Structure 1
Amino acid sequence: MKNFMIDGSLKELTKHHTVVMPIACYKTTINQNIHGYIPLHWHDEIQFVLIVKGEAVFQVNEDCKVVREGDGLFINSGCLHMAQDKELSDCIYICLNVSPYFVLSQELYTTYVKPYVQATNLPYLYVNANELWGKSILDAILEIYHCIEQKQQYYEIDITMKLSLIWKNLIDNGFKLEYVQTEIVKSQRMKQMLSWIHEHYAEKILLEDIARAGQLSRSECCRYFRRFLKCTPLNYVIDYRIQKSLYLLQQGDSNITEVAYQVGFNSTSYFIDKFKDSMNMTPLAYKKENA
């Protein structure tokens, strides 16, 4: 089991680089994560995904998209996203994370990369293997994965050439770029509210507290959570507390009541009920299975 590390603002803490390049390319098995899925997060790097087995449901900002085996997804810099296995398909995908500054040379970055990274109408793009441009991108992702695995002579140069090919196919696919300041503000406010929850989840939390963190009214706060996360703010708090309890329960000397209070529940029985709703087992059963 792997623990997906993020900070209080939901920014992923994994360093996406090799020794000499700001790039990472690796395989991910979704259900091997400690949560059972890839939790909501964001990063400065752009991301390309290629599904090599099964299917996955990706959420990017407010949208959900099922990505089929053989197809892929482009996720833009700074966008909130998460992924979960679809119908127990044991989904495995290749993940390519790249610093936007590394995609093209510095001289070309301002013209051909920056406008697309900053576009508010381009949080993600489905990459279909049945489209010629899509297959070209997906083949290049797989080739970059093999380049990093094998590290043959001049592989760094091969990678930069393939990145240029990927990006040319992406921007040549006919995007109409938009930059809407209100969309930027929405994303920032959502991140502020989630960050506040992650810093204070062990304390008593009221809806007013969450709304205040995003500089919103209570009703508008609820609308944001419904749009981005398809749940209420307080339900998100409960789910987050349950997720934080998983690591604690895996410790051999943990106590169910102590764990409940550590993650913000003021009743052991309520913790057990909510844990069962989320994990389909009791905390004790989870502890015995994973300790």
Structure 2
Amino acid sequence: MMIKHFTVDQSYKELTEHRTLLLPIACYETAINQNINGHIPLHWHDEIQFVLIIRGEAVFQINEEKIIVQEGEGLFINSGCLHMAEEINHSGCVYICLNVSPHFVLAQDLYATYVAPYIQATNLTYVHLDTKEEWGKNILEAIIKINHLMQKKSPYYEIDITVQLTLMWQNLIINGFQLKYEQSEMIRNKRMKQMLNWIHQHYTEKVMLKDIAQAGQLSRSECCRYFKRYLKKTPSNYLTDYRIQKSKALLQQPDSNVTDVAFQVGFNSTSYFIEKFKKSMNMTPLTFKKNKND
């Protein structure tokens, strides 16, 4: 199954249902450039995620860190971490994405000892997976096996999947991570999500820096430092980008027009909306609308 678009709620938590009828997991292929935004936008979810690049290459951002992942390599992305992805050099990047509820990784009696400490650790936001290490190779091969199992759905495939998940988790944790639990890092992550949540709830209104900062219980200068650290942009630039992102879905509606869309997403000037949209998308909103509706 190929996923081209997913939705998020106002806190940017992904709303895609990550489960089959029987299992709290989802496994699908994602073509980055086929997403409505041309990239995988910033989001997070409670599930842990395993990624395997099967074509091209991409740069992933997890919280404030960026990492390039090439064909044949992968990532483990921990629960609750903000992340996004962009392909590199128009490589047509496609990856297998495996999302799993942490409570399904191992039997419940083992969860407190072998899962919860890793999910809660503040120094384990992601792990780069490649074939140079045997444990990494084992995880990447298991992702492929699970993807095939999900597609074929042979008898008892659910049991086979649980076997592969156990193998993956064992290979991940036997690396001997020195887990850390920094309260300050937990607070920073929470405040960043609070500020993003506020923007996503109020982007159609007049937004002031002091309001964003207040949502995260920060000063305006500290708010700007948070955005620079996590997103490499100012709160104002993030707001503009988010408004443009929201405008794309509206522009695809047959009866929409550029002026109405501009005001619906919070711009108080059509010309300013067109200017920012063109800078972001290398085309005007009208051209985008015509291309998508042809």
Q: Indicate yes or no: 2:88 matched with 1:86.
A: yes
Question: What does residue 131 of structure 2 align with?
Answer: 129
Q: Per the alignment, in what secondary structure is the counterpart of residue 83 of structure 1?
A: strand
The equivalent position to 2:224 in structure 1, one of 222, 225, 234, is: 222
The equivalent position to 1:16 in structure 2, one of 3, 14, 18, is: 18
Q: Is this contact kept in 2: 1:4–1:34, CA < 8 A?
A: no
Letter in 2 for 1:106: Q
- Between the aligned partners of 2:259 and 2:7, the Cα distance in structure 1 is 25
- Between the aligned partners of 2:41 and 2:108, the Cα distance in structure 1 is 33
Shift of 1:60: 0.2
Tell me the TM-score normalised to structure 1 length. 0.99
Tell me the TM-score normalised to structure 2 length. 0.98
149-158 vs 41-50, which moves further? 149-158
Question: What does residue 138 of structure 1 align with?
Answer: 140
Letter in 1 for 2:288: Y
Shift of 1:255: 1.1
- Between the aligned partners of 1:22 and 1:242, the Cα distance in structure 2 is 33
Gaps of 5+ in 1: none
The equivalent position to 2:171 in structure 1, one of 165, 169, 172, is: 169
Q: Is this contact kept in 2: 1:40–1:80, CA < 8 A?
A: yes
Shift of 1:3: 3.2
- Between the aligned partners of 1:104 and 1:252, the Cα distance in structure 2 is 48
Could you tell me the percent identity over the aligned residues?
67
Q: Is this contact kept in 2: 1:55–1:86, CA < 8 A?
A: yes
- Between the aligned partners of 1:254 and 1:34, the Cα distance in structure 2 is 17
Shift of 1:157: 1.1
Q: Per the alignment, in what secondary structure is the counterpart of residue 49 of structure 1?
A: strand
Q: Indicate yes or no: 2:288 matched with 1:275.
A: no
Q: Is this contact kept in 1: 2:63–2:83, CA < 8 A?
A: yes
Q: Give a deviation string over 1:201-232, Cα, whole Å, max 9, x none.
A: 01001111100110000000000000000000
Letter in 1 for 2:215: A
Question: What does residue 57 of structure 1 align with?
Answer: 59
- Between the aligned partners of 1:143 and 1:107, the Cα distance in structure 2 is 26
Q: Indicate yes or no: 2:110 matched with 1:96.
A: no
Q: Per the alignment, in what secondary structure is the counterpart of residue 133 of structure 1?
A: helix
- Between the aligned partners of 2:4 and 2:52, the Cα distance in structure 1 is 20
Shift of 1:64: 0.5
- Between the aligned partners of 2:35 and 2:55, the Cα distance in structure 1 is 16
Letter in 2 for 1:200: H
Q: Per the alignment, in what secondary structure is the counterpart of residue 183 of structure 1?
A: helix
Q: Indicate yes or no: 2:216 matched with 1:207.
A: no
- Between the aligned partners of 2:4 and 2:109, the Cα distance in structure 1 is 39
- Between the aligned partners of 1:138 and 1:274, the Cα distance in structure 2 is 40
Q: Is this contact kept in 1: 2:4–2:32, CA < 8 A?
A: no
- Between the aligned partners of 1:239 and 1:247, the Cα distance in structure 2 is 14
Question: What does residue 154 of structure 1 align with?
Answer: 156
Question: Where in structure 1 do 4 or more consecutive aligned residues deviate above 6 Å?
Answer: none
Q: Is this contact kept in 1: 2:4–2:31, CA < 8 A?
A: no
Letter in 1 for 2:271: S
Shift of 1:2: 3.6
Over the aligned positions, Cα root-mean-square deviation in angstroms equals 0.9
- Between the aligned partners of 1:257 and 1:213, the Cα distance in structure 2 is 30
- Between the aligned partners of 2:69 and 2:18, the Cα distance in structure 1 is 23
Shift of 1:253: 1.3
The equivalent position to 1:111 in structure 2, one of 106, 110, 113, is: 113
- Between the aligned partners of 2:127 and 2:4, the Cα distance in structure 1 is 27
Q: Per the alignment, in what secondary structure is the counterpart of residue 204 of structure 1?
A: coil
- Between the aligned partners of 2:5 and 2:130, the Cα distance in structure 1 is 30
- Between the aligned partners of 1:282 and 1:250, the Cα distance in structure 2 is 13
Q: Give a deviation string over 1:231-274, Cα, whole Å, max 9, x none.
A: 00011000001111101111111111111111101111111110
